[in-house]
């Protein structure tokens, strides 16, 4: 079974590309962001360590992660960010490997905005980078999240990884289906 990592900057269209890969090619997709959020809420080891790092208020009374408090803990503190990543990334990777063990497709997809910095790229056979012009990305995120331009720019500047992808698709209104067909032909040849 081959593994394709899909990455790209915020607003580039990673999730859209992954939906196309699932819908048009029937590929199973592992969404790292969604699974990390779920694990942050449900994994007892992660919960215990986050409480030790940040304090009990890192979880809301309803048991969900207090994302704004965690973001404040991390923001501007690279050592805090590194500690949280060293906690969460191995748990996500272990979960991905368990998920992978029950898949039967010839190709599976992992969607991750931080494919390289997390080390998940080392698990992949191929990496696909989804790109789009910066102004288009800014507009998409502002509309999607209700964020200000300066908030989006700060997020873009914090996500600088591109790595050395095997494939790049441009999600700028050009024929994305044709670009993905070329990618799939290259992978599944």
- Residues 10-50 have pLDDT tens digits of 899 999 999 999 999 999 999 999 999 999 999 999 999 99
- Note down the domain range covering 41: 2-188
Confidence of residue 140 (pLDDT cuts 50, 70, 90): confident
Q: Which long-range contacts (CB under 8 A, 24 or more apart) does 174-178 make?
A: 176/13, 176/16, 176/17, 176/20, 177/20, 177/24
Gap between the Cα atoms of 77 and 54, Å rounded: 13
Confidence of residue 160 (pLDDT cuts 50, 70, 90): low
Gap between the Cα atoms of 133 and 174, Å rounded: 12
Provide the CATH number for the domain around residue 166.
3.40.50.300
Q: Looking at residue 137, what is its pLDDT? A: 87
Residue 59 CA to chain centroid, in angstroms? 22
How many CB atoms neighbour CB 78 within 10 A?
8
With a cut of 90, say whether residue 188 has pLDDT above it: no
| Helix, strand, or coil (residue 181) | helix
With a cut of 70, say whether residue 161 has pLDDT above it: no
> Among residues of the chain, what percentage have pLDDT more than 70?
97
Lowest mean pLDDT among 7-11, 124-128, 179-183: 7-11
Give the total number of structural domains in the chain. Answer: 1
Lowest mean pLDDT among 12-21, 71-80, 85-94: 71-80
């Amino acid at each position: 079974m081959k593994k394709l990592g899909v990455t790209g900057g915020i607003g580039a269209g990673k999730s859209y590309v992954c939906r196309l890969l699932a819908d048009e090619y029937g590929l199973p997709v592992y969404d790292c962001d969604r699974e990390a959020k779920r694990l942050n809420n449900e994994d007892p080891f992660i919960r215990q360590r986050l409480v030790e790092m940040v304090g009990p208020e890192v979880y809301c009374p309803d048991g969900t992660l207090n994302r704004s408090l965690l973001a404040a803990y991390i923001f501007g503190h690279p050592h805090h960010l590194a500690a949280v990543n060293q906690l969460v990334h191995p748990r996500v990777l272990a979960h991905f490997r368990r998920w992978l063990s029950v898949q039967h497709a010839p190709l599976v997809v992992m969607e991750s905005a931080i494919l390289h910095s997390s080390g998940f790229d080392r698990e992949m056979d191929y990496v696909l980078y989804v790109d789009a012009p910066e102004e288009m990305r800014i507009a998409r995120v502002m509309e999607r999240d209700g964020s200000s331009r300066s908030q989006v720019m700060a997020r873009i500047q914090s996500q600088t990884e591109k790595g050395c992808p095997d494939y790049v698709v441009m999600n700028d209104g050009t024929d994305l289906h044709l670009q993905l067909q070329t990618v799939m032909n290259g992978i599944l040849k």
